[in-house]
Amino acid sequence: MAQGRDKILFYVDEVIPEKQEELDISDSHYAAVAKANDAWADLEFEIDRTIWRLLRTSQPLGACVTSQLISVFPKLDALRALVEYLNFGDNVKKPLKSFHGKISKLVSRRNRMIHDKRMIKYWSKEVVRFSVSAKSELQFAPQVETEDELLKFCDTILGHVDEFEIIKRQIYEDAPGQHAKLIGRSHSIREDWDHPTDRPDFP
């Protein structure tokens, strides 16, 4: 299916032919983009699910909170804060900290994959992402994007999903004991309740 001429990239100094060839970005290219994005969604979901478990709440209630955490960074910050508050051991803290550092390197690439406009260089027929960002330094240029690169990126993300799964399983295994240690260690602020017996006892 034709993508329209707004997908064709000409530079201002290039000659535009009177009769342009119709160019499409292939369905297989878009499928590779979707696969990488789907892998990233799997990763964020597993982090969310781990937060829900540590909060000891129903998944829908937990989702009311985690759905407001718009990127993987605040999700991991929240998870690490929970792990710290619950006083997990280094067998969880260290791998989670290492994982946080590794994932940071992938976030920018994932964001550009989602938000950059895709175009086709007319004369070379290359698919490019036109990268536009300005975090302390302007990026305003086309970046060649191939299906192979996208599929390799997908595999990289899935590798991190597998790595997080190991951390998650350790968290699940240790969580009951860590929650038990909270008893008598509450710093919650008392509210004015009509009847003391109605006051929920949260750690």
Q: Residues 17-52: pLDDT tens digits?
A: 888 888 899 999 999 999 999 999 999 999 999 999
Q: For the chain, what percent of residues have pLDDT higher than 70?
A: 88
**What span, in angstroms and rounded, lies between the C-alpha atoms of 92 and 55?**
17
Residue among 175, 174, 166, 169 nearest 98 (CA): 166
Residues 6+ apart with CB under 8 A from 61: none
Residues 6+ apart with CB under 8 A from 126: 120, 144
**What span, in angstroms and rounded, lies between the C-alpha atoms of 43 and 160?**
8
Q: Are 24 and 141 in contact (CB under 8 A)?
A: no
Residues 6+ apart with CB under 8 A from 156: 106
| pLDDT tens track, the chain, 203 positions | 444 557 887 777 777 888 888 889 999 999 999 999 999 999 999 999 999 999 999 999 999 999 999 999 999 999 999 999 999 999 999 999 999 999 988 999 999 999 999 999 998 999 999 988 888 899 899 999 999 999 999 999 999 999 999 999 999 999 988 887 776 566 666 776 555 555 555 44
